[in-house]
Amino acid sequence: MRTTWPERVRRPSAGRVLAVASAAPALVLAGWLLAGLPLLLLGWFRPLAAVPLGLAAAALLCRYGLRRPPGSGSVPGSGSVPEDRSGSGSVPESGPGQAAGIGGATRWQAAGVLAVAAGSGLFNALLHSEQLIVRRDPATYAQYAVWLAERGSPPIPYGEAAFGGPDPALRFDSVGFFDHGGAVVPQFMPGPPTVYAIGHWLGGLDGLLLTPPVLGALAVLVFAGTAARLAGARWAPLAALALAVCLPLLYTSRTTFSEIPSLILLFGGLSLLLDARSRTGAALAGLVFGLAVLVRIDGLRDVLPVLAYAGLLIALRRAGASGGSGAGERSGTPERGASAEGEDTPDGRFGLPLLGGLLAGAGLGFAAAFLLAEPYLDYLAASWRPLLAVCGAVLLCTLAAAALAPRLAGPLRRAARVRWLPEAAAGLVAAVMAAFALRPWLQTVTRRAVTDEDRTTAEFIEKTQAANGLAVDGSRLYYEDALHWAAWYVGVPAVLLATLAAAVLVRRLVRGAARAWLLPLAVIGWTTVTTLYRPAITPDHPWAARRLVPVVLPGLILLAVWGLRRITEAVRDRGHGPGARKGAAVLGAALLVAPAAVTSIGTAFTPVGRGERAAVEAMCASLPSDAAALIVERVTADRFTQLVRGVCGVPAARVAVVPGTDLPPPADVTRLIGRVRAAGRTPVLLAAEAGQLAPYGTPVRVMALRTRQDERSLTEAPNGTWSLSVDVWMTVP
């Protein structure tokens, strides 16, 4: 009797796998943020509440955001195309909203992207940082995440009862943690700590410290998906590799920064909008973009072009420019070699849902900022208030343009027919980049110290200049070198190729082609120009390199990869054979990857902060279970007040020091010791040196950390690390 075998289950295409895999991280992250924020506000951010709610929100967003992804082959006009099994990369790729460049992915191309992302995550996990002692932002994020993971919500109470009640000599703030409204409020937006808290739930401090490499791998995957959609799947593995070996990506993927989650949301939003086939898809893309504000307040600047783009779509809808065409309908035959960037007219139906999603996400971000990070907003008021005013002006212009669209359509079409306009727009791109390249010879950016923060920054710069063997001038900010920073990390060839590609794309956009590139190019161009003009960060490297991570460096790499593709197509069009085309591709790939890899080698294999976790755990174990810690030295108080309170679980406060010194008045310390005893706790004093504690008891060293820290380079790319010593002494009076 003949056996009837069940029909073979149809496997998803490689394009579909890559499309889903590269878009899902942004939706999952958005779902988690949406679930986590209300729980934070209610004080219920606990695994039993957050995990099921976060998974449900992520699943819901993925269900609607990943419906019929590119490469599914199930929707006419969806942009799915046959796989290019020859590896030639010559498969036709459709236009905006359809990301058909990813629909033609081969198994090897998809596997290459996944392999690069996985390799990036594994490499950074093996060499991850352990920054828990609060000296700069990563440890602040880590301590914020620890508090959320174990206590469920900010703000952080003083715990004055352990010190016998209020006292004028007691202070509860420290670096990265503001004293505000009768409690301690962590610096920064709450988005990243809610993500890093997952790692703490899964594996304590080890899990927390390994979460950044996982996010870094996802960032490489998401970016590669955007590259596949815009430049073609053949070029996605190269784009992924060029980003993965870039030093700033390595740097921010090894410790708790906010830039990597921001990159996932911004490039994930671009991919989702390119994939959108319905108003729901456009709304979800807008939501993902808007939630970037919940991760970084700077996200408001990064998503400003999305606001303008949504207004453009609304205006097109009202002017009838969309012609009723859906996102998947072709409006014409693309010119040869330009298929991946698309020629469709943007679908005006998507304008309102995109705008609604954007405002909802950004609104949640601002709500979180005002409710959970008010002192941080006050600290940055000089930066975000003008930006908010710009956003308001753009919104008003958007509404006005939408209202007047029918009347403006004719004049704008006539203006677009001006013959010299495309070339002038392309020339403007080249001129702007040339100005940034020449800026160090034309300008020296300085700042006069007028606030305490300015003076602290100036002192830091002076010390760093002395360590670098430079002339000491604390007013220098080195912002004029910002484009050169980018060239350090991705290489001069990538910057030149990206500039050429941007000029070509702008020219084509003005001519009415390459419309799928309109929003990506606007986001990349706007953020790159504003960031390079004013990085707004202490200019030592690799620290300052983090400013380039969310958009600038990925944007340059994306443009450079597209430019390389155009070059190889030009080689083909001139009649050269496959060998010449492959040779050009290999040479171009080497020029994109090798300079970045060479810059990264100096620091890529040396983890920083190693040993901090073990040192912190040993110090915590040395504290009595009923202790109340009084930190009686300024630097130790800056670094350890929140760590002792959060990681060790011991009430902690710093004793106010005598102005101009690092130590408090002995009478204050003696009084507070008595108050702690009267409260029924064991007073413990902490300081940096034994001699600082000798007047109160026998000192015992509870931390003797010897590790490595980031280099602080001002005028060249970092090529190594510096030593770091941290000592903590304890006495029980």
Q: pLDDT tens for residues 578-630?
A: 888 889 899 999 999 999 999 999 999 999 999 999 999 999 999 999 999 99
Query: What is the 3-state secondary structure of 455-513?
Result: HHHHHHHHHHHHHHCCCCCCCECCHHHHHHHHHHHHCHHHHHHHHHHHHHHHHHHHCCC
Residue at 146 is within a domain: no
Number of domains in the chain: 2
Q: Per DSSP, which regions of 573-624 are E strands?
A: none
Assess whether 509 and 633 both reside in one domain. Answer: no
pLDDT (average), residues 694-713:
96
* pLDDT tens digits, 276-320: 988 999 999 999 999 999 999 999 999 999 999 998 898 888 777
According to DSSP, the β-strands at 721-731 and 700-710 are: antiparallel
Residue 399 exposed, middle or buried by CB count within 10 Å (0-12, 13-18, 19+): middle
Q: In what order do the strands lie in the sheet with 652-655?
A: 170-171, 652-655, 627-631, 682-687, 721-731, 700-710
Which pLDDT value is given to residue 93? Answer: 36
Q: Are 84 and 234 in contact (CB under 8 A)?
A: yes
Mean pLDDT is lowest, of 78-92, 164-178, 271-285, 679-693, for: 78-92
pLDDT (average), residues 90-109:
60
Mean residue pLDDT of the chain comes to 89
Peptide bond into 155 cis (omega under 30): yes
Distance, in Å, from the CA atom of 681 to the CA atom of 619, rounded to the nearest integer, reads: 18
Which pLDDT value is given to residue 70? Answer: 64
- pLDDT band of residue 219 (cuts 50, 70, 90) is very high
Question: Which residues make Cβ contacts (< 8 Å) with residue 593, sequence separation at least 6?
Answer: 238, 241, 242, 245
Residue type, 117: A
- Last-in-domain residue among 604, 631, 651: 604
- Last-in-domain residue among 576, 604, 632: 604
Give one DSSP letter per residue of 41-104, joined into a string: HHT--SHHHHHHHHHHHHHHHHHHHTSS-TT---STTS------TTS--------TTT-HHHHT
- The neighbouring-strand residues paired with 653 are 630
- pLDDT band of residue 105 (cuts 50, 70, 90) is confident
Closest-CA residue to 657 (of 690, 681, 635, 678): 635
pLDDT at residue 253 tops 60: yes
pLDDT at residue 326 tops 50: no
pLDDT at residue 87 tops 80: no
Distance, in Å, from the CA atom of 319 to the CA atom of 402, rounded to the nearest integer, reads: 8
pLDDT (average), residues 509-514:
87
Assess whether 348 and 465 both reside in one domain. Answer: yes
Assess whether 566 and 643 both reside in one domain. Answer: no
CA 580 remoteness from chain centre: 38
Q: Are 501 and 566 in contact (CB under 8 A)?
A: yes
Assess whether 701 and 584 both reside in one domain. Answer: no
Q: Are 45 and 98 in contact (CB under 8 A)?
A: no
pLDDT at residue 508 tops 70: yes
Residue at 261 is within a domain: yes
Q: How many other β-carbons are positioned within 10 Å of the β-carbon of residue 199?
A: 23
pLDDT at residue 340 tops 80: no
Assess whether 294 and 369 both reside in one domain. Answer: yes
- pLDDT band of residue 416 (cuts 50, 70, 90) is low
Distance, in Å, from the CA atom of 178 to the CA atom of 202, rounded to the nearest integer, reads: 29
At 701, is the secondary structure helix, strand, or coil? strand
Helix axes 518-533, 421-442, angle to 10 degrees: 20
Which pLDDT value is given to residue 399? Answer: 78
Range of the domain at 254: 14-127+209-604
Residue type, 149: A
Distance, in Å, from the CA atom of 201 to the CA atom of 253, rounded to the nearest integer, reads: 20
Assess whether 599 and 626 both reside in one domain. Answer: no
Distance, in Å, from the CA atom of 1 to the CA atom of 563, rounded to the nearest integer, reads: 61
Assess whether 169 and 40 both reside in one domain. Answer: no
Residue 178 in tokens: 């503001």
Which pLDDT value is given to residue 415? Answer: 66
Residue at 133 is within a domain: no
Phi, psi of 706 (to 5 degrees): -125, 110
Assess whether 623 and 597 both reside in one domain. Answer: no
Residue at 140 is within a domain: no
At 676, is the secondary structure helix, strand, or coil? helix
Closest-CA residue to 485 (of 429, 556, 562, 426): 556
- The neighbouring-strand residues paired with 629 are 652, 684
Assess whether 260 and 340 both reside in one domain. Answer: yes
Which pLDDT value is given to residue 77? Answer: 30
Closest-CA residue to 649 (of 195, 150, 174, 177): 150
Q: Are 702 and 528 in contact (CB under 8 A)?
A: no
Closest-CA residue to 236 (of 62, 99, 38): 99
Residue at 19 is within a domain: yes
Place of tokens 């596949």: 228
Q: Are 82 and 13 in contact (CB under 8 A)?
A: no
Distance, in Å, from the CA atom of 115 to the CA atom of 223, rounded to the nearest integer, reads: 14
Residue type, 674: G
Assess whether 570 and 684 both reside in one domain. Answer: no
Q: Are 686 and 651 in contact (CB under 8 A)?
A: no
Residue 177 in tokens: 């943690």
Which pLDDT value is given to residue 178? Answer: 95
Cα-based torsion angle of the residue sequence 144, 292, 237, 504 in order, rounded to the nearest 10 degrees:
-140
Q: What is the largest CA-CA distance in the chain?
A: 99
- Last-in-domain residue among 572, 604, 636: 604
Distances from the Cα of 387 to the Cα of 78, 298, 356, 361, 550, angstroms? 38, 9, 20, 17, 18
Distance, in Å, from the CA atom of 615 to the CA atom of 205, rounded to the nearest integer, reads: 12
According to DSSP, the β-strands at 682-687 and 627-631 are: parallel
Peptide bond into 248 cis (omega under 30): no
Residue 448 in tokens: 């006069």
Say how many CA atoms lie within 13 Å of 701 toward its Cβ.
10
Helix axes 14-42, 107-126, angle to 10 degrees: 40
- The neighbouring-strand residues paired with 655 are 170
Residue at 452 is within a domain: yes
- pLDDT band of residue 79 (cuts 50, 70, 90) is very low
Task: Dihedral sign for Cα 428, 431, 436, 439, please.
Answer: negative
Residue at 190 is within a domain: no
pLDDT (average), residues 139-153:
95
Distance, in Å, from the CA atom of 225 to the CA atom of 244, rounded to the nearest integer, reads: 14
* pLDDT tens digits, 541-555: 999 999 999 999 999
pLDDT at residue 99 tops 90: no
Which pLDDT value is given to residue 395? Answer: 81
Distance, in Å, from the CA atom of 242 to the CA atom of 41, rounded to the nearest integer, reads: 40
- The neighbouring-strand residues paired with 721 are 710
pLDDT at residue 636 tops 80: yes
pLDDT at residue 73 tops 60: no
Assess whether 518 and 589 both reside in one domain. Answer: yes
Distance, in Å, from the CA atom of 147 to the CA atom of 651, rounded to the nearest integer, reads: 13
- The neighbouring-strand residues paired with 713 are 541
Residue at 713 is within a domain: yes
Task: Give the chain's count of helices (H) and strands (E).
Answer: 26, 8
Which pLDDT value is given to residue 411? Answer: 73
Which pLDDT value is given to residue 125? Answer: 97
Assess whether 593 and 612 both reside in one domain. Answer: no
Which pLDDT value is given to residue 8? Answer: 55
Q: Are 712 and 468 in contact (CB under 8 A)?
A: yes
- pLDDT band of residue 574 (cuts 50, 70, 90) is confident
pLDDT at residue 327 tops 90: no
Considering just the CA atoms, what is the radius of gyration of the chain in Å?
Answer: 27
